[in-house]
């Protein structure tokens, strides 16, 4: 009898020792910020049937882990707490998270312009010096891709300091810093971004599946998953070949080209100081070799970034989202596109890809809101900054007279703006602070500030002007067209961008950026005059004008602002299909 009793106790002890500890995703950790004023989901894993208790600021909630090892509790809303608290979780083991604040949590996502670090931004050095703020917290999601939604995420919460802020997203930092100054509450910023990524990569499989018009993305996903084993076998050799090609290119082209760029930069500084025209930027003798795409198709593959970098964060309670992306959706022939590895079916597909962003982006917003289940939380996004040399054409068509494809950023910006029809959305303009030579303009301060203005006005109810002039209506008056605007603030004015990529001073002049046409849609540069809250446009070449476009270029030079310093958004009055 004693033998069997001892044996039973030994078995029980061994079984107890092999039981797994209660675990939680990395989004829960020391220094985290929990969302104020809403139900707080807390979740993790434990042995099936294990009782788990969560304690926080006087609340104690117990649940039991399911058969799939998952457990979750929802704490009652907790309101603003700027003094540190402790979150405790007890099961077989004890977890304790210290220095927890309760404030507003924002998810900051997108591609490389969102990922652009503070250390490289204009004004970044000064901002870093003053970045010590223990009420501002960051969590950076480690970049990963996955074919299926993941439960775990890599990263950790850190308090803002010069060392930590330097490598964090510049746009997000300036956004969070402004909110801290404007509201005084703790702010948590979750950075989940990836350079070169497309919108479809940030969308769930189900979100794409719900829209039949996105079936081509599902086909891409299935093909990539099907070919993954085969492509994995040859990837190492392709990568080795690429390294050899890159080394040869650097020696023959890269090094000489870098010297040319350095000489060009000196000439630009001299031209700026003497008010000369900027010299043309030199081009390399040949294009830099492109690396082989990884077996999973890379950062434009449908759903892969959502699965690895967004799904594990759900349902962590958030205030809303700020988003800076779109460059990689300009067309399917982009060097960043997964489709470049496969035969193209012609220019029509490329046109479709640019224009479809107006539906794709809205679907992304709706799907994220549905996944979180918090309702229509704020979703503020950035309109693409100006890029490439500005042409002399009044407007830039998607397809030129020779039948060749133009990049079409004007149409993609329109696709972004269409999302403003959704509730609780806002758009920060960046078209005036771009760099024709760099897809990553360094002025992130004004981008972050303009995003913060949207939150301050729309979410926090502060009396600020959050948007530049936006087109409302048009009225024909003989040979002129009268345009009426909303968001005029203190009034319309001609103004200059807050910063220039080359340091030159922009001289104020008459209104620019307006184009006018009649029914034949032959576009001409328009004479534009401010009349109160209206703009009157005309052209001696158009006797019966019927349509106007403003800043309808990749890198426009329009200078209509309100007196609050915010630029007018690009717009068109016609409803023509992209051409």
pLDDT at 453: 98
- Of residues 425 and 401, more confidence is placed in 425
Q: What distances in angstroms separate CA 232 from CA 76, 217, 237, 248, 385, one per listed residue?
A: 47, 21, 10, 25, 37
What is the rounded average pLDDT of the residues 21-31?
97
Q: Considering the chain, what is the average pLDDT of its residues?
A: 91
Helix (H, G, I), strand (E, B) or coil at 355: helix
Confidence at residue 331, expressed as pLDDT on a 0 to 100 scale: 65
Longest dimension (CA), the chain: 110
DSSP helix, strand, coil percent of the chain (3-state; round to 5)? 35, 25, 45
163-191: average pLDDT: 98
Pairwise CA distance, residues 471 & 192, whole Å: 33
pLDDT of residue 17: 44
In a domain, 99, yes or no: no
Name the band, by pLDDT with cuts 50, 70 and 90, for residue 8.
Answer: low
**Is 195 a residue whose pLDDT tops 90?**
yes
Q: Picking from 6-10, 310-314, 502-506, which range would have the lowest pLDDT averaged per residue?
A: 6-10
H helix runs in 274-420, sequence order? 304-305, 347-355, 357-372, 409-418
| Structural tokens at position 64 | 């039991």
Residue 352: pLDDT band (50, 70, 90) is low
Domain assignment present for residue 158? The answer is no
Instruction: Calculate the CA dihedral of residues 93, 21, 26, 55 and round it to 10 degrees.
Output: -30
Q: 507 lies in a domain? A: yes
**What DSSP assignment string belongs to 116-185?**
-BGGGSTTHHHHHHT--EEEEEEEEPPP---SS--S-----EEEE-HHHHHTSBHHHHHHHHHHHHHH-S
Q: Does 488 map to a domain?
A: yes
- CB count within 10 Å of CB 48 equals 12
More confident residue, 567 or 391: 567
Average the pLDDT over 551-557 and give the result: 94
- CA-CA distances (angstroms) from residue 559 to 412, 487, 510? 20, 16, 8
Whether pLDDT at 345 is above 70 = no
Bridge partner residues of 44 (DSSP): 71
- For residue 500, tell me if it sits in a domain: yes
Its sign, for the CA torsion 447, 387, 202, 144, is negative
**Model confidence band, residue 19 (pLDDT cutoffs 50, 70, 90):** low
Asked whether residue 553 is assigned to any structural domain, the reply reads yes
- pLDDT surpasses 80 at 246: yes
Q: What is the pLDDT of residues 63-90, one digit of tens each?
A: 999 999 999 999 999 999 989 999 999 9
Higher pLDDT, 17 or 461: 461
- Cβ-Cβ contacts under 8 Å for 291 (sequence gap 6 or more): 239, 242, 246
Instruction: Note whether residue 563 is domain-resident.
Output: yes
Can you give the residue range of the structural domain that contains 499? 469-579
Average pLDDT over residues 130-152: 97
Domain count, the chain: 1
In a domain, 201, yes or no: no
Strand, coil or helix: 289: coil
Average pLDDT over residues 437-443: 94
Q: Is 0.85 topped by the overall pTM? A: yes
Please identify which residue in the block is written with the tokens 């299926």: 148
Q: For residue 275, name the pLDDT band (cuts at 50, 70, 90).
A: confident
């Amino acid at each position: 009898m004693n033998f069997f009793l001892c044996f039973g106790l030994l078995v029980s002890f061994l079984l107890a020792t092999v039981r797994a500890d209660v675990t939680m995703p990395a989004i829960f950790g020391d220094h985290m910020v929990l969302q104020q004023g809403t139900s707080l989901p807390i979740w993790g894993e434990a042995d099936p049937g294990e009782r788990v208790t969560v304690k926080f600021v006087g609340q104690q909630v117990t649940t039991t882990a399911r058969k799939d090892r998952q457990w979750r509790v929802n704490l009652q809303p907790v309101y603003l707490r700027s003094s540190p608290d402790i979150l405790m979780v007890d099961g077989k083991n004890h977890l304790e998270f210290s220095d927890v604040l309760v404030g507003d949590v924002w998810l900051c996502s997108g591609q490389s312009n969102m990922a652009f670090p503070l250390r490289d931004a204009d004004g970044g050095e000064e901002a870093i010096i003053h970045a010590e703020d223990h009420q501002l917290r960051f969590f950076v999601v480690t970049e990963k891709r996955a074919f299926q939604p993941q439960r775990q995420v890599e990263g950790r919460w850190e308090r803002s300091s010069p060392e930590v802020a330097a490598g964090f997203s510049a746009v997000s930092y300036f956004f969070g810093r402004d909110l801290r100054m404007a509201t005084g509450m703790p702010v948590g910023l979750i950075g989940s971004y990836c350079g070169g990524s497309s919108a479809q990569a940030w969308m769930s499989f189900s979100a794409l599946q719900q829209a039949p018009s996105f079936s081509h993305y599902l086909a891409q996903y299935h093909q990539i998953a099907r070919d993954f084993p085969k492509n994995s076998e040859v990837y190492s050799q392709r990568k080795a070949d690429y390294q050899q090609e890159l080394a040869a290119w650097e020696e023959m082209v890269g090094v000489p080209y870098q010297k040319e760029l350095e000489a060009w930069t000196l000439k630009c500084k001299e031209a700026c100081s003497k008010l000369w025209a900027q010299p043309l930027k030199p081009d390399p003798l040949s294009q830099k070799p492109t690396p082989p795409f990884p077996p999973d198709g890379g950062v434009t593959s449908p759903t892969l970034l959502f699965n690895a970098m967004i799904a594990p964060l759900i349902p962590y309670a958030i205030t809303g989202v700020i988003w800076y992306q779109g460059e990689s959706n300009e067309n399917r022939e982009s060097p960043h596109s997964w489709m470049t590895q496969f035969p193209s079916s012609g220019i029509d597909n490329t046109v479709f890809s640019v224009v479809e962003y107006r539906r794709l982006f809205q679907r992304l917003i709706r799907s994220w809101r549905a996944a979180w289940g918090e309702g229509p939380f704020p979703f503020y996004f950035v309109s693409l900054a100006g890029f490439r040399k500005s042409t002399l054409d009044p407007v830039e068509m998607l397809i030129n007279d020779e039948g060749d494809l133009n990049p079409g950023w004007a149409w993609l910006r329109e696709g972004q703006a269409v999302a403003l029809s959704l509730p609780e959305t806002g758009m920060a303009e960046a078209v005036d602070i771009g760099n024709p030579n760099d897809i990553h303009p360094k002025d992130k301060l004004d981008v972050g500030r303009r995003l913060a203005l949207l939150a301050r006005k729309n979410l926090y109810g502060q009396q600020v002007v959050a948007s530049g002039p936006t087109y409302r209506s048009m009225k024909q008056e003989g040979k002129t067209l009268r345009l009426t605007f909303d968001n005029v603030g203190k009034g319309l004015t001609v103004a200059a961008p807050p910063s220039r990529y080359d340091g030159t001073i922009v001289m104020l002049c008459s209104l620019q950026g307006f184009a006018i046409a009649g029914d034949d849609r032959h576009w001409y540069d328009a004479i534009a005059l401010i009349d109160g809250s209206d703009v009157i446009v005309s052209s001696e070449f158009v006797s019966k004008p019927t349509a106007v476009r403003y800043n309808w270029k990749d890198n426009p030079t329009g200078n209509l602002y309100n007196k609050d310093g915010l630029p007018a958004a690009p717009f068109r009055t016609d409803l023509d299909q992209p051409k």
